[in-house]
Every structure is written in C-alpha cells, then in structure tokens.
Amino acid sequence: MVIDMIALPEWSPDLVAERAGRSGRRAETSRYLQDLFCAACLRSRSSKPVVDHSNNRNLVMTKIREVVVVSDPTNHGALVCRVGDSQFTVGGPDGAGRISTGPNPYDLLSASLAACTAMSIRFQARRQRLPLERLEVGVSFRHGAQGERDSFARTLVLGGELDAHQRALLLEAANLCPVGRILGIGAAINTRLDATASGHSPSTQASYEDDLAQLPIPNITPD
C-alpha cells in the first residue's frame, strides 16, 4: 500500500502568476516554486511501499525484550528473573527474615554497567583493530558522603601491547557506553584504568538489604 502524506496542488503558469499577484514579484514566485519542489521531494519519499516487519523473526532488534521477575512459591517465594530463555534467582531479603541467594538489585545494576562497558570497549578495539588481548571490568555501587551523589566505582584492566593513545581510545569508549549514560543521570561514575585498588572517595559500599529495611513501610506482624 502506498501512502501519500502530502497532497500537491497542480502546477500551472496561471497558478504561479496568481500566487505572485501578477505583479512581477519574482522573489515570492521563487519561494512558491521552492515550496512545490520540497513538497514533491517529500511525496516522492513517502511514495515507497510501507513494509511490515512485525512477522519477520530474523529482525531481532525490532522485538521488545522484556525482563520479568516472578515469585517462586516452591522456593519460599524467592524472586526469579527471566530474560528470554535465561533465568536466575534474584537475591535479597524476602520480608520474612530470610536472604535469598543470588545477585541483588544493586548487584544487577553494577553487572549491567560492567557488561555494557566491556562490550563497548571490545567493540572499539575490534573496530580500530587494537591489540586488546584481555579485558576486565569491575564495578561496585557506593553511597555518597553527606551531600554528595551516589557513585559507581569502575575499574578497567586492559591487557595487550597498547600504547597511551590506544588506551585513551578504549577509555573513551567505556565512558560512552549506553548503560553508563543512563545511570550517570542519577549517580556519578568514577573510572580508574588498570588499577589494583579502588582508591576512590571514602564513600561506603551500598547495602541493598539496609536500604530496603529503611523504606517507610510499616511493619505489621500478623496475629
């Protein structure tokens, strides 16, 4: 099906003359012809058939990928995260005095940033054909001191015969990773290259269990 987004007026000398007011106003006539030309270009672009890819399973990127977290009644109500064909248990307090094993939500945030950083660095290294032989990204989430923002401490270990310029390129790729740009809106991301110790500000490691316990939710003990 062809969709015409713009209906063009039929062009004729009389129409141009009428638009120009028959007074020799060449500038207005020229603008009108330009308007007609632009509209024709837009109609030409919109005249291409609209292709429906909704049933094409090969176009994976067009699908909406949803992460689902459900409770598991067979395991004391533990939360299970499902992503496509993969699933894992989400750690953290269950509200009944037990701590479920597995990565808690803060761990998952850190894992997301670490994985995206590693992918961005690897992508840059392959595109630029850099001799990156080994890559390690460590991330931890920290609460800021009084009046300071929370932060992610990110450590990069880059192995290979890389010079200073090449390392700078990979560090730039790390700072441009999509997840980092999203998380950086609410928290600082402090990055150290080839560090063996954190060396960041003396902020405290964030505890998801402690933060969850401080939520203003009344504790009602059933009779």
Does 45 score more than 60 pLDDT? Answer: no
Say if strands 204-205 and 67-72 run parallel, antiparallel, or are unpaired. Answer: unpaired
Q: Collect all residues with Cβ–Cβ distance below 8 Å to 159 and sequence separation of at least 6.
A: 132, 133, 134, 135, 136
Token representation of residue 6: 């713009």
DSSP-derived 3-state class of residue 157: strand
Q: With the C-alpha atoms ordered 127, 130, 133, 137, is the resulting torsion angle positive or negative?
A: negative
Confidence tier at 29 by pLDDT (50, 70, 90): very low
Q: What is the signed CA dihedral for 140, 115, 69, 100, rounded to 10 degrees? A: -40
At 15, the amino acid letter reads L
Does 119 score more than 90 pLDDT? Answer: yes
Q: Which of 59-68, 90-99, 171-180, 192-201 has the highest mean pLDDT?
A: 171-180
Of residues 39 and 180, more confidence is placed in 180
Q: Are 126 and 170 in contact (CB under 8 A)?
A: no
Q: Name the helix (H) or strand (E) containing 208.
A: helix 208-213
Q: Which of 6-20, 62-76, 171-185 has the highest mean pLDDT?
A: 171-185
Q: How far apart are the C-alpha atoms of 165 and 119, rounded to whole Å?
A: 19
Ramachandran sector of residue 169 (left: φ over 0; alpha: ψ -120 to 50; beta: rest): alpha
Confidence tier at 93 by pLDDT (50, 70, 90): confident
Query: Would you give the end-to-end CA distance of the chain in angstroms?
Result: 66
pLDDT at residue 12, rounded to an integer: 47
Token representation of residue 140: 């931890």
**How many other β-carbons are positioned within 10 Å of the β-carbon of residue 113?**
25
90, 92, 182 from 74: Cα distances, Å: 15, 17, 36
Q: What is the signed CA dihedral for 215, 217, 222, 223, rounded to 10 degrees? A: 120
Token representation of residue 214: 């401080």
